């Protein structure tokens, strides 16, 4: 069985990039030359990449839906599509759904991203033989929004990015709450700011539009590992990777009781209603005051997520189609 996997996403440094890179790195030792990697980018030269821009591939595959994947991957039995495009292929087709925010929160999403995901999903719904979802919550959204038959849906959890397993360094900040976020209202940063004021806690926001903006891997680890607590107030996420990163760096977690968070955090976090600032503030204080207990629970919870397991279960999906 030969599997062609589109690795275009690895060049962007996003959560989907982490997933793609880690999955390939853990499938390769099992599959060897039967795993065929290919991608498209005009960024610095990349092994296995064709120098074509993502916009062109969007038109070629999502819009016109022409030129078989086999043109780039050779003869394959399984085609694992990228998050961005769905090409035509004679092979059995698999795609991974990370979250469905472009469809659930279109007004908060760049119109170009909505357009691309809408076009990609129109083909995926028609042609894909299997959908891998990174959480039960995302699987539920997929069934509800696109009426996908449950037999086609497989929930396979992600794991923590290897690139964030770094030793911490002391930061210039102390006694602060950390979160990750962006400008979208669903990230709920304004309510978190208000909650932190209620309990006189300093807040550091990493990410687009935050105090620090985007930071290096080492700086991310530094800010995470030195925080008094990590708080994830988002109203919707497809998975919630920073929660695992907080567990790894032994930081207590408080997070919303919505979307995929209870699946990821289990009993190792203090939950709150993301619309209730007073409840949020109380949960943050409780997380800080129960640090040792939450660290122990978080370390245990972290063992449920591994890239080896993700790769093995993904391979089982491939095998089920041939």
pLDDT (0 to 100) of residue 166: 93
Confidence of residue 47 (pLDDT cuts 50, 70, 90): confident
**How much is the average pLDDT of 181-197?**
93
The kind and range of the H/E element at 3 are strand 3-6
Average pLDDT over residues 6-30: 94
Strands, E assignment, 43-91: 49-50, 78-80
Pick left, alpha or beta for residue 278 (phi over 0 → left; psi -120 to 50 → alpha; otherwise beta): alpha
- pLDDT (mean) for 152-170: 94
CATH topology of 3-159+306-320 equal to that of 162-302? yes
Whether the per-residue pLDDT at 209 is higher than 70: the answer is no
- Please check the confidence at residue 153 and state whether its pLDDT lies above 80: yes
> How distant, in Å, are the alpha carbons of 1, 21, 22, 195 from that of 31?
9, 15, 14, 49
Q: Kindly state the average pLDDT of the residues 152-157.
A: 98
Q: Residue 44: beta bridge partners? A: none
- Nearest by Cα to 270 from 260, 259, 255: 255
**pLDDT given for residue 173 in this prediction:** 82
pLDDT at 181: 83
Return the pLDDT at 13: 80
Distances (CA, A) of 33 to 37, 121, 145: 10, 29, 37
Predicted local distance difference test score (pLDDT) of residue 157: 98
Cα angle 320-151-301, degrees, rounded to a multiple of 5: 85
pLDDT above 70 for 45? no
Neighbours of 244 (CB within 10 A): 24
Enumerate the domain spans of the chain.
3-159+306-320, 162-302
For residue 134, the 8-state DSSP code is: S
3-state secondary structure of 183: coil
Integer Cα distance of 11 and 33 in angstroms = 22
Please say whether the beta carbons of 125 and 163 come within 8 A: no
Residue 5's φ and ψ, nearest 5 degrees, are -120, 130
What fold characterizes domain 3-159+306-320? Rossmann fold (3.40.50)
Per the CB < 8 A criterion, the answer to whether 89 and 76 are in contact is: yes
The radius of gyration computed from the CA coordinates of the chain, to the nearest angstrom, equals 20
Confidence of residue 207 (pLDDT cuts 50, 70, 90): confident
Q: Evaluate if residue 112 carries a pLDDT over 90.
A: yes
Checking if the pLDDT of 154 tops 70, the result is: yes
Q: What is the DSSP letter of 45?
A: -
What pLDDT, on a 0 to 100 scale, did the predictor assign at position 210?
66
How much is the pLDDT for 171? 81
Average pLDDT, integer, range 226-244: 97
In 3D space, the residue among 180, 244, 170 whose CA is nearest the CA of residue 22 turns out to be: 244
Q: Which single residue is written with the structure tokens 């990174």?
A: 134
The whole-number average pLDDT for the span 114-121 is 98
Is the model's pTM score more than 0.85? yes
Please tell me the distance from the alpha carbon of residue 295 to that of residue 199, in angstroms, as a whole number: 22
Tell me: pLDDT of 232 over 70. yes
Cα 30 to its chain centre, rounded Å, is 23
Please state the rounded mean pLDDT for residues 192-214.
Answer: 89
pLDDT value for 109: 92
Q: For all residues of the chain together, what is the average pLDDT?
A: 95
Rounded Cα distance between 19 and 25, Å, is 10
Mean pLDDT of 177-181: 93
Q: Which two tokens stand for residue 216?
A: 């290096």
Bridge partners (DSSP) of residue 272 are: 256
Cβ partners under 8 Å of residue 64, min gap 6: none
Alpha carbons 286 and 64: distance in angstroms, whole number: 54
pLDDT tens digits, 286-319:
999 999 999 999 999 999 999 999 999 999 999 9
Work out the burial of residue 163: count CB atoms within 10 Å of its CB; fewer than 13 is exposed, 13-18 middle, 19 or more buried: middle
pLDDT category of residue 229 using cuts at 50, 70 and 90: very high
Asked if residues 298 and 290 have their Cβ atoms less than 8 Å apart, the reply is: no
Q: What is the CATH number of domain 162-302?
A: 3.40.50.2000
The rounded distance, in Å, linking the Cα atoms of 148 and 78 is 20
Residues in the chain: 322
């Amino acid at each position: 069985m030969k599997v062609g996997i589109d690795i275009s996403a690895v060049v962007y440094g996003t959560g989907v990039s982490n997933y793609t890179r880690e999955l390939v790195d853990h499938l390769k030792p099992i599959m060897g030359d039967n795993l065929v990697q290919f991608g498209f980018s005009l960024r610095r030269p990349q092994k296995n990449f064709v120098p074509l821009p993502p916009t062109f591939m969007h038109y070629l595959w999502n819009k016109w839906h022409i030129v078989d994947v086999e043109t780039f991957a050779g003869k394959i039995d399984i085609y694992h599509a990228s998050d961005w495009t769905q090409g035509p292929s004679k092979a059995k087709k698999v795609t991974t759904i990370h979250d469905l925010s472009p469809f659930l929160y279109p007004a908060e999403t760049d119109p170009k991203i909505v357009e691309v995901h809408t076009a990609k999903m129109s083909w995926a719904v028609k042609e894909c033989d299997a959908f891998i979802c990174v959480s039960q919550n995302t699987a539920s959204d997929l069934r509800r929004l696109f009426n996908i038959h449950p037999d086609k849906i497989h929930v396979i959890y992600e794991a923590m990015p290897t690139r964030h397993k770094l030793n911490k360094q002391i930061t210039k900040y102390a006694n602060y709450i950390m979160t990750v976020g962006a400008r979208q209202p669903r990230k709920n940063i304004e309510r978190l700011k208000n909650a932190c004021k209620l309990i006189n806690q300093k807040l550091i926001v990493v990410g687009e539009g935050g105090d620090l903006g985007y930071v290096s891997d080492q700086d991310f680890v530094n800010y995470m590992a030195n925080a008094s607590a990590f708080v994830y107030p988002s109203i919707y996420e497809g998975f919630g990777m920073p929660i695992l990163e907080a567990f790894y760096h032994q930081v207590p977690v408080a997070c919303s009781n919505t979307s995929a968070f209870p699946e990821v955090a289990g009993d190792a976090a203090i939950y709150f209603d993301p619309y209730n600032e007073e409840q949020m503030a109380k949960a943050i204080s409780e997380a800080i005051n129960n640090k040792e207990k939450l660290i122990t629970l978080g370390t245990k919870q972290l063992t449920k997520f591994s890239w080896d397991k993700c790769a093995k279960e993904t391979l089982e999906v491939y095998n089920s189609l041939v």
